[in-house]
Every structure is written in C-alpha cells, then in structure tokens.
Amino acid sequence: MSFTAVARKDFSDARRSRSLWALSGLFVLFTLLMTYLYTVIPELEGGDAAELSAIGLLGFIAAPATLFVTLAAIVVCYKAIAGESESGSGKLLLSLPHSRFDVLAGKVLGRWLVLVVPVVGGLLVALGAVFALGIGFPAGTLGVAGFDLPAWPVVYAGFVALTALFALVYVSLVVGISATTASTSKAAALALGAWVVFELLWDAVPVGLVFVANGFAIPANLAALPNWVAFVSLLSPSVAYSHAATGLLTDGTTGAVPFYLLGWFAVLILAVWVVVPATVGYLRYRNADL
C-alpha cells in the first residue's frame, strides 16, 4: 500500500504552507477564548463558579468546535484531488506506482493530519488553561486493577478522539467531493453546499418529514414526537458528534431510549460517514479520465 507515501507527501506540502500554522493558531485562540468565556459567563449570570470543571468546559467547546472543524475541513480539503487534476500535478502523482485508491486514501490521511494537529493542540492548550486557571476536575473515578483512578483524563482523551473522528468525517466528505470533479471551483461549491445542508438546514429536515408524515399538517402534540424524528436529526454529522459528546461528557442517559439514540450509536453513524463519501468519491475518481 503506497497511500502512506502520498499522505506523507501531502502532509509535508501542508507543513510548508501557512495553512497548517494559521489553523493551529486559530484553534488555540478559539479554545483559549472559549475557556475564558466559560469562566466568565456563570459569574455574569450569577451562577456558582465552583461548579466549573474541565469536562463542563469541553461541553461548552463542543458545539462551536463543529463550526471550526467543518469550515477548516472545507478550506484544507476541497482542492485535495480536484486541485491535482486541475493543475496537472495529478499526472506526476499517478505516473508513480500509486493506485487511485492509494491517492484517495493518502489524501484523506494527509489532510486529516493537517486538521487533527490543530485540534489536538488546541484541546491540549485548553487543558493547560484549565490547570492555570484553577478550574476543577470532576471527582468520578475508574477502578483499574484495584486502583481508583480519576475518570476525567479518560473522558478528556475520549473527547479528543471523538473530535478527531468528527474531523475525519468532514475530511472524508470534502476529499470525496473533491474526487468527483477536476474543477476546484466546482469542488468548493459542492463542499459549501453540503455544509449548508448538514450544518444550517438539517434542523428543517426532520421537521419537514414530520409535517409530511402527519398528512401535511403540523402535529398537535409537538412534545411527543416519535423517536425516528430524533434519529433523522442524528444523521447529520455534527448532530451525531454533539450527541456522542453529550453522552460522553454527561455520563448516562435519562429514561428508556432506543439503542439508535444512544451515544455509541452516534459514533457508529460518524463511522459510516467516514466510509460513504470517500467511497462514492473513489468510485467516480477510479473511472475518470484525468
């Protein structure tokens, strides 16, 4: 498998560009700002500052982080394959013994690293700020080999991993889109279109389906919508990510919930999102004339 050679080439290319460093700087600034707001807002609202915790901070960061990750993924990835086809560097790449699968897989891996380095870095800086500001940690413990260890590092690492997975979803989506066309402007337009649908308009989809399912009328009891409505809304990557993050950070669910609304199922949805767009993009790219 030569996709690691492609990924390595791609990543060293990005490392020499300003984008990786600009993104890292931006995400660090973003997490520091969020950490600051997290400590200030409860005071403004008359809350109890003692309730602040590192895990609470992550919950506070999760939603705006999706905005950063999704937009950064578009910027980093829309040219991944369309740009190579458009400029002609793809001929250089494919003159060497790489299959088109290797190219796509290598691109996903390389661009994902470009995105994950700032995300992990930013979340580590946030952890540093937590220590510096004296924000507490939750008291929960995990029993490991007879020792009671604090649970928060596991939760924190889990959140970092989950965010990295979410980044992979968007990298797969945008690289997949980039593989379907040899025009970078078309790739950018399609990626932005997908972003608008899944980030801005998705809330309307379950509502619309309810409207249709109810015989084109607004249901009388909006508080008791069927479970499938929540499931449909969960099909958006960022909803699935937020849902999984909430499950991870608030430990435990309330009441009887079908399995497909549990946190782990949201992770499964994200995993499907990693595979599907990249596969569709690959099938188009495999059969394309360069």
Partner 1 sequence: MDAITVSNLTKDFGDVRALDGVDLSVEEGEVFGFLGPNGAGKSTTIDVLLDFVRPTSGDVRVLGMDARSDSMAIRERVGVLPDGYHVYDRLTGRQHVAFAVRSKGTGEDPTDLLERVGIAEAADRPAGGYSKGMKQRLVLAMALVGEPELLILDEPSTGLDPNGAREMREIIRGEVERGATVFFSSHVLEQVEAICDRVAILDEGRIVTVDTIDGLRTGAGATTELAITVDAVPDGAADALPAVPGIEDVSVDGRLVTVRMGEGSKSQVLHELERTGATVVDFATRETSLEELFAAYTEDDDETDGPDSAEVEATTAVNAADVTADESADPVEVGR
Give the footprint of partner 1 on this chain (CB under 8 A).
2, 5-6, 8-9, 12-13, 16-17, 87-89, 91-92, 94-99, 287, 289-290
Tell me the closest approach of the beta carbon of residue 17 to partner 1, in angstroms: 6
Nearest residue (CB) to partner 1, 97 versus 134: 97
For 131-138, which contacts have Cβ atoms below 8 Å and span 24 or more sequence positions?
Answer: 133/35, 133/39, 135/35, 135/38, 135/39, 135/52, 135/53, 135/54, 135/57, 136/50, 136/52, 136/53, 136/54, 137/53, 137/54, 137/55, 138/53, 138/54, 138/55
Of residues 275 and 290, the one with the C-beta less far from partner 1:
290
In the bound complex, what is the minimum distance in angstroms from residue 88's beta carbon to partner 1?
4
Farthest CA pair distance, the chain = 65
* Structure token pair of residue 228: 């499938």
Residue 6 or 248 having the CB closest to partner 1: 6
The encoded tokens of residue 249 equal 């950070």
To partner 1, the closest distance from the beta carbon of 287 in angstroms equals 8
Of the two residues 8 and 186, which places its CB atom closer to partner 1 in the complex?
8
Nearest approach in angstroms of CB 99 to partner 1 is 6
Q: Are 243 and 165 in contact (CB under 8 A)?
A: no
What's the token pair of residue 137? Answer: 């940690």
In this structure, what token pair is assigned to residue 280? 């569709």
Our CB check for partner 1 shows the closer of 95 and 254 to be 95
Rounded distance between C-alpha atoms, residue 19 and residue 8, angstroms: 16
The residues that bridge with 136 in the sheet, in sequence order, are: 53
Cβ of residue 194: shortest distance to partner 1, in angstroms?
27
Q: How far is the CB of 6 from partner 1 (least distance, A)?
A: 8
At 222, phi and psi to the nearest 5?
-75, -15
Q: Which is nearer to partner 1, 29 or 290 (CB)?
A: 290
